[in-house]
Amino acid sequence: MAEVRYEQASRIYPGTPPVMAVDRLDLAIADGEFLVLVGPSGSGKTTALRMLAGLEEIDSGRISIGDRDVTHAPPKERDIAMVFQSYALYPHMTVAQNMGFALNLRGVSKETIAEKVTEAARLLDLDKYLDRKPKALSGGQRQRVAMGRAIVREPSVFLMDEPLSNLDAKLRVETRANIAALQARLGTTTVYVTHDQVEAMTMGHRVAVLKDGVLQQCDTPRTLYERPANAFVAGFIGSPAMNLHTVPVSENGAQLGELTLPLPRATTANLTEVTLGIRPETLRLVGPEEAGFKLAVELVEELGADAYLHGRAHLGDSDQRFVLRVDGRTPPTIGQTVNAGLRDTGEIHLFHPGTGERLD
C-alpha cells in the first residue's frame, strides 16, 4: 500500500511535430484512494497510467510510489498490478497459472501460490474455472481473471485501463459495483482509467479530468459536478451535458434572450461577453407571462419519471441548442415552442469566454 505522486511528469511522443501526450502532470494520490483518470480519447489518460506502470517512458518530471522514485524503474520493480482493456491474459496458461504467474516469477512456493490463487478465485467466483484456458471463458469471466491476476499479487497499487469497456452494458454496471466494493475491501491504492464519465463519477473517490494531456481538474465527483474548474470539465461531467453558451454582458447582467441574469460585478468586470453554464435540471418550463426565452422543441427523450427536451433558441443573431429536464408525465411535443426559464439563478456557472476558466 502506498501513495502515488506524479510531479511534472511528461511524455512526449516523437514525431513531427512531437506530441505532448501528457503535459507536466501533477497529481498526488493518497494511500488507499480510488482515483479515476477520465477524459475523451487522446486526452492522455491511458498514457498517464502507462507511465505509472513503467510501460511508457517519462521524458521529464518524476513519478514516485510510496517513498520510492520509480521514474526510470522497469515495471517489475514498481510493485504494481495492472488490468488491461483487452485483459491481456496469457493464452497458453490456465486461469490458475495466469493468476499465479507473477508469484511464480518471484519464486514464491507452490503451496503459497495455490493458496492465494484459490482465495482470489473464491473472491471472484472463479473457483470452477481454474483449470480452463482463457479461450474457454466468457468475456465477464476473462475480466474477472484479469482482476484476479492483479489481486493475487497484493501490489501496492492497482492500475486499471478501461477494464469494463469490453463488457456489455448490464455486466458493466454489475462489475463496476464489484470492483468498487473489492477496492474498498482491499484498501489498495487504485488508479482507474475510463472515458465514461458515469463510471468515473460512480467509482472514484476523486476524479482527474484530462484534456490534450493537461490535467483540468482533480476533485471529488460532487465538487466536479458543482464547481467545475472550467468550461471543458463543466461540459464533460454530467449527462446530458451542461448547456454552455457565450452571451453578451450588459449593465444589468448576462442577456439570455429576454432573460437577464444578474452577475456579480467583480467577476465579470471588463468582459463584454461571458460563457454561461446551465445544467439541464436548472432550466424549467415557465408560463408565457414569466421571464424566459423561447425554445423550439426538436426532440423529446422520455425516460419515464423525467424527460429531456432538446430545443433551439434564437439568441442574438444565431440559433443555439439547449437541453432541459422536464416532467416526464407531461412533456411538450416536437414542433411546439415553449418558454424556458430558470429554477435558481444561483446554480448558473460562469466561465471566461476566451480561456474557459471559471469566474468566481
Partner 1 sequence: MATFAPPRPGPMTPGARPPAAARREAWQRRLPLTPALLFMIFVTQIPFVFTVIFSFQSWNLVRPGSQHWVGLGNYANVFTDSAFRGALFTEIEMTVLAVAISMVLGIGLAVLLDRKFPGRGIVRTLLIAPFLVMPTVAGLLWKTTMLDPVYGIVNYLLRLVGVAPVDFVSRFPMASIVTVLVWQWTPFMMLIVLAGLQSQSGEVLEAARVDGAGPWTTFRAITVPHLRPYIELGGLLGAIYLVNTFDVIFMTTQGGPGTATTNLPYYLYQRAFLGFDVGQASALGVVTVIGTIAVASVALRMLFTVFSTTEGRA
Partner 2 sequence: MTTAAPASPADTTTPRTAVRGPLRHLLRTASWTAGAWLAGLVFFFPVLWMVLTAFKQESDAYTTTPHIVFSPTLSQFKAVFDSGIGPYLANSALATVLSTILVLALGIPAAYALSIRSVRKWRDALFFFISTKMLPVVAAIIPIYLAVRDLGALDNVGTLIVLYTAMNLPIAVWMLRSFFLEVPREVLEAARVDGVTLRQEITRIMLPIVAPGIAATALICVIFSWNEFFFALNLTSVRAATMPVFLVGFMTSEGLYWAKLAAAATLACLPVLLAGWIAQKQLVRGLSMGAVK
The one among 64, 71, 85, 178 contacting partner 2 by CB under 8 A: 85
CA–CA dist 113, 102 (Å, integer): 10
Q: Please say which residue, 113 or 224, places its beta carbon nearer to partner 2.
A: 113
Q: Which of residues 8-47 bind partner 1 (CB under 8 A)?
A: 10, 12, 17-18, 20
User: Which segment (53-61, 239-247, 266-274, 292-300) binds partner 1 by CB under 8 A?
Assistant: 53-61
Could you identify the residue written with the cell 415552442?
337
The one among 69, 174, 298, 327 contacting partner 1 by CB under 8 A: 69
CB of 255 to partner 2, least distance (A): 53
Strand partners, 210: 215
Mask for 77-96, x = binds partner 1 (CB under 8 A): xx------------------
- 297 touches 289 (CB < 8 A): no
Cα torsion 322, 323, 325, 328: sign:
positive
User: Which segment (83-91, 244-252, 260-268, 294-302) binds partner 2 by CB under 8 A?
Assistant: 83-91
Query: How many chain residues are in contact with partner 1, going by CB under 8 A?
Result: 19
Q: Please say which residue, 18 or 187, places its beta carbon nearer to partner 1.
A: 18
Q: Please say which residue, 11 or 206, places its beta carbon nearer to partner 1.
A: 11
List the alpha helices (DSSP H) in the chain: 45-53, 95-105, 110-124, 139-153, 169-186, 197-203, 221-226, 231-236, 265-268
Beta strands in 239-288 (DSSP E): 243-248, 254-256, 259-261, 273-278, 283-285
- When CB distances are held under 5 to 8 angstroms depending on the partner's kind, the choice from partner 1, partner 2, none that residue 59 binds is partner 1
CA–CA dist 259, 248 (Å, integer): 12
CA–CA dist 275, 320 (Å, integer): 13
Q: Please say which residue, 91 or 288, places its beta carbon nearer to partner 2.
A: 91
Give the strands of the sheet with 4-13, arranged side by side. Answer: 19-29, 4-13, 60-65, 68-69
The one among 69, 72, 92, 258 contacting partner 2 by CB under 8 A: 92
Nearest partner of 50 among 5, 82, 28, 12, judged by Cα: 82
Q: Which of residues 95-114 bind partner 2 (CB under 8 A)?
A: 101-102, 105-106
| DSSP per residue, 144-212 | HHHHHHHHHH--SEEEEESTTTTS-HHHHHHHHHHHHHHHHHHT-EEEEEES-HHHHHHH-SEEEEEET
- When CB distances are held under 5 to 8 angstroms depending on the partner's kind, the choice from partner 1, partner 2, none that residue 125 binds is none
CB of 280 to partner 2, least distance (A): 38
Rg (CA), the chain: 24
The one among 68, 195, 227, 310 contacting partner 1 by CB under 8 A: 68
User: Which segment (51-59, 118-126, 202-210, 333-341) binds partner 2 by CB under 8 A?
Assistant: 51-59
Mask for 53-82, x = binds partner 2 (CB under 8 A): xxx------------------xxx---xxx
- When CB distances are held under 5 to 8 angstroms depending on the partner's kind, the choice from partner 2, partner 1, none that residue 128 binds is none
- When CB distances are held under 5 to 8 angstroms depending on the partner's kind, the choice from partner 1, partner 2, none that residue 153 binds is partner 2
CA–CA dist 56, 289 (Å, integer): 61
What is residue 348's DSSP assignment? -
Alpha carbon 70 to chain centroid distance? 25
| Strand, coil or helix: 346 | helix
Q: Which of residues 131-160 bind partner 2 (CB under 8 A)?
A: 149, 153, 159
Contact positions vs partner 2 (CB under 8 A): 53-55, 74-76, 80-82, 84-86, 88-92, 101-102, 105-106, 149, 153, 159
Residues that bind partner 1 (CB under 8 A): 10, 12, 17-18, 20, 58-60, 62, 67-74, 77-78
